[in-house]
Chain A
Amino acid sequence: MLPSAPIARPKPAPPSPAVPRAARRRRRPRKDGRDTAANVRAGLFVFLAAFAGLALFRSGDLVSTTYDLPPGETSEAVIALAETWHGWMEAIGTAQAGDAVVETVGALASGDLFEGTSFFPATDG
């Protein structure tokens, strides 16, 4: 029996992708789902942080907002809570820090910050 000569088979070419690589990269439904969930959590975290920031530095506004609530026992309780919170913020100094910024902008608007400053000197009509 003659030894059979090895047949030189061409190396199989890698299968050509039906979907281009870039498109395959885009199609990741499971990862997309996970990404979306993570981004929603990040979004909620961002919004809660924003509420916290406003509660820290604009606690006075919180009190004013609660005054607009319809009269009732619940509203009274909410107002008391807001006032207590505002008291705490005043005690730690964040409310005053916010007020200082508001006053500085007010002074800039009224011209007190640049007393007598005008872009052009005043002239008679």
Chain B
Amino acid sequence: MLFPTLDFAVFFLVVFALAWALRRMASARKTLLLVASYFFYGYWDWRFCFLLLGASLIAWVAGIAISGATGERARRGIVAVSVGVLLLILGFFKYYGFFLESLGDLLRGAGIERDLPLMAVILPVGISFFTFQAISYVVDVYRREIPAARSPLDLLLYVSFFPQLVAGPIVRAADFMPQLAERPRLTRFMLSYGLVLVLVGLLKKMVVANWLATHLVDDVFLVPESHDMPTLLLAAYGYAVQIYCDFSGYSDIAIGTAALLGYHFRENFRQPYRAASLQEFWRRWHISLSQWLRDCLYKPLGGSKSGRIATYRNLFLTMFLGGLWHGAAYNFVIWGAMHGAALGLERAARERFSPRPGGPRDAAFKRIAWAPRPWHGHGLVRFLAILATFHFVTLAWIFFRAENFTTATAYLSGLASLSGSFEAWTPFHLLLVFVPLAFHFTPHDLDMRCGRALRRWPALALAFGFAACLVLIQLISPPGTAPFIYFQF
């Protein structure tokens, strides 16, 4: 079930009414939300509900076993086994086809022809997200941030809760599960803030992302050889905006619908293209995954506490594996490796050129307003750093979006040709690309401010405003319903 469809609208209306009718009956409410979440997921293919159930039960059993284990070694062993099993399931669905093809190529290269056990494995929607949530629960129980759930109901609901089930945000168990123990409330702010987020998410996805995809990006990335440099450049900017609006639009709707049901999710995007460094970019882009990778991969690898070289290695490995997580394709690997290498270089540059606090260079820098206080200052230098970061991220997106490595290189050679006309730079395309970018420089909590302002509106005005905005979004969006980009991950 997709968010911007009539099916979901009817589904949510029913769930909203029933969930609040059962407000005083905690177990019944949770059961209702659980059934609704499985219905939401089974709407694509009911067979995958068993996979979702299996992943949840593995995490539940692991949680109980961890809390019952006495020694630290036993606790660690249970975490390793359960996380290993969950990753094995994820790996099977995500990489089975890729490894089998690669193995076949390898054997053929060595002159060995073998009939490999080919099997069509369909990638279940959102498998990464619910697997990561299950792992998050096991890790949080191991770190004693939350107690192990005695009843499976809370855990099943945490893993499958429909607003964030298929494309995040990856909600940490320590954030969400305590909320299940409280009686839910719907304040006027939560109502208005939730409605604002739903509208903003729909606008981003249905209007900006869908128009950019259907009118510019898809055509250009399909055959980059037949387009000139200005069109390729605009399409690269267009994809940067499209993927942001598509993904953050989903997160906005997810956070908004959760708020309407009385639950709080943390923000997942914070104006990422205003970042003045890659480190800052990853603190603003898909925040929940960045934090998950930091806590469950970067820190266990040793983080930044094992020396300089090990830190660079850990940074690179984290981003490389983050790239591989997106899919078993060289494009994603290159994308992850680019970010990993650039993050390492950026860290090295910062360590080399940043003035030591209190040192003579620091004092000199403080006297010059625009002095190169790398990645933290204001003014011209920060503006240039934002431009450089945005262009690096956009360059890496080309690998992410291109069908294969050949297409990506064709795209880059087209960009390097430095000739062509600007016919594709129409007012419509410029509007779609640059207005969302301009919004990156508004106050970061604009949606929250709108929610605060609207909470004083009477219900009639709120209903009229919401209905008018929703109808307008429907009218100005292109025909058809495109799936969200991150559903495939």
- Residues of chain A within 8 A of B467, CB atoms compared: 46, 49-50, 52-54
Bound Cα distance A20, B476 (Å): 51
Is A58 on the interface with B (CB-CB < 8 A)?
Answer: yes
What residue in chain A is nearest B424 (Cβ atoms)? Answer: A118
Whole-angstrom distance between the Cβ of A117 and the nearest chain B Cβ: 6
- Is the pair A50, B470 in contact by a Cβ cutoff of 8 Å? yes
CB distance from A10 to the nearest CB of B (A): 44
Supposing A57-B475, A125-B419 touch, asked if A39 and B427 sit within 8 A by C-beta, the answer is: no
Q: Is A75 an interface residue (CB 8 A)?
A: no
> Is A65 an interface residue, CB under 8 A from the partner?
yes
Question: Is B464 part of the binding interface, using a Cβ–Cβ cutoff of 8 Å?
Answer: yes
Partner of B421, one of A51, A105, A108, A123: A123
Digit string of B263-278 for contact with A (CB within 8 Å is 1, else 0)?
0000000000000000
B20, A32: Cβ atoms closer than 8 Å: no
Contact B421 A42 (CB under 8 A): no
Residues of chain B with a CB closer than 8 A to A41's CB: 459
Cβ–Cβ contact A119 & B425, under 8 A: yes
How close is A119's CB to chain B, nearest CB, in angstroms? Answer: 4
Closest to A42 in B: B459
Judge whether B191 and A43 touch: CB under 8 Å: yes
Given known pairs A51-B9, A118-B425, the reply for A36 and B20 (CB within 8 Å) is yes
- A51: chain B residues at CB < 8 Å are 9, 13
Contact at A40–B476, with CB atoms within 8 Å?
Answer: no
What CA separation (Å) do A42 and B6 show in the bound complex?
Answer: 21
In angstroms, how far is the closest chain B Cβ from the Cβ of A113?
Answer: 8
- Also in contact, A125 and B421, with CB within 8 A (given A42-B191, A42-B459, A119-B430): yes
Contact A114 to B427, CB < 8 A, known contacts A47-B16, A50-B466: yes
Known contacts: A40-B186, A45-B463. The answer to whether A109 contacts B423 by CB under 8 A is no
B195, A54: Cβ atoms under 8 Å? no
A32-B185, A43-B16, A65-B6 known; A54+B474 contact, CB < 8 A = yes
Q: Is the CB of B426 within 8 A of A111?
A: yes
Q: Which residues of B contact A58 (CB under 8 A)?
A: 471, 474-475
B188 touches A54 (CB 8 A): no
B166 in contact (CB, < 8 A): no
- Tell me whether A36 and B186 are in contact (CB under 8 A): yes
Interface residues of A in 39-98 (CB under 8 A from B): 39-54, 56-58, 61, 65, 98
CA distance A114 to B90 in the complex (A): 50
Identify B471's interface contact among A47, A54, A120, A121, CB under 8 A.
A54
With A43-B186, A111-B428, A118-B423 already in contact, the answer to whether A98 and B475 are too (CB < 8 A) is: yes
Contact partner of B427 (CB less than 8 A), chosen from A105, A117, A125, is: A117
Specify which chain B residues have a CB less than 8 angstroms from the CB of A49 in the assembled complex.
463-464, 466-467
Contacts of B260 in A (CB 8 A): 43
Contacts of B422 in A (CB 8 A): 118-123
Q: Does A101 contact B (CB under 8 A)?
A: yes
Q: Name the B residues within 8 Å of A98 (CB-CB).
A: 471, 475
Count chain B residues whose beta carbon lies closer than 8 angstroms to a beta carbon of A: 46
Known: A40-B20, A58-B471, A119-B427. A45 touches B459 (CB 8 A): yes
Write out the residue numbers on chain A whose beta carbons fall within 8 Å of the beta carbon of B428. Answer: 108-109, 111
B368 interface contact, C-beta 8 A: no
The answer to whether B17 and A44 have CB atoms under 8 Å apart is yes
A119 CB contacts on chain B under 8 angstroms: 422, 425-427, 430
| Contact across chains for B426 and A114 when beta carbons are under 8 A apart | yes
**Distance of A79 Cα from B142 Cα, bound (Å):** 56
For chain A residues 4-19, which have a beta carbon within 8 Å of chain B?
Answer: none
Contact yes or no, A36 B464, CB < 8 A: no
- Residues of B contacting A118 with CB < 8 Å? 422-423, 425-426
In the bound complex, residues from chain A placing their C-beta under 8 Å from that of B185 are 32, 35-36
User: In angstroms, how far is the closest chain B Cβ from the Cβ of A102?
Assistant: 6
With A43-B16, A120-B422, A123-B421 in contact, do A35 and B188 touch (Cβ < 8 Å)? yes
A65-B6, A117-B427 known; A46 vs B459 contact (CB < 8 Å): yes
**B426 contacts A122, CB within 8 Å?**
no
Give the distance to chain A from B459, nearest Cβ to Cβ, in Å: 4
Chain A residues lying within 8 Å of B420, measured Cβ to Cβ, are 125
CB distance from A37 to the nearest CB of B (A): 8
Which residues does chain B contribute within 8 Å of A123, judged by CB atoms? 421-422
Query: CA separation between A99 and B460, bound complex, in Å?
Result: 26
Chain A residues near B421 (CB-CB < 8 A):
120, 122-125
In the complex, which residues of chain A have a beta carbon less than 8 angstroms from the beta carbon of B373? none
B residues near A114, Cβ cutoff 8 Å:
426-427
Query: Could you jot down 6 A-B contacts, CB within 8 Å?
Result: A36-B184, A46-B466, A51-B9, A51-B13, A53-B467, A111-B428
Chain A residues within 8 Å of B, Cβ to Cβ: 32, 35-37, 39-54, 56-58, 61, 65, 98, 101-102, 105, 108-109, 111, 114, 117-125
6 tightest A-B contacts by CB? A120-B422, A53-B467, A49-B463, A119-B425, A42-B459, A40-B20
Where the two chains meet, the residues of B that have a C-beta atom closer than 8 Å to any C-beta of A are 6, 9, 12-13, 16-17, 20, 23, 184-188, 190-191, 195, 211, 215, 228, 230, 260, 419-423, 425-428, 430, 459-460, 462-464, 466-468, 470-472, 474-476, 478
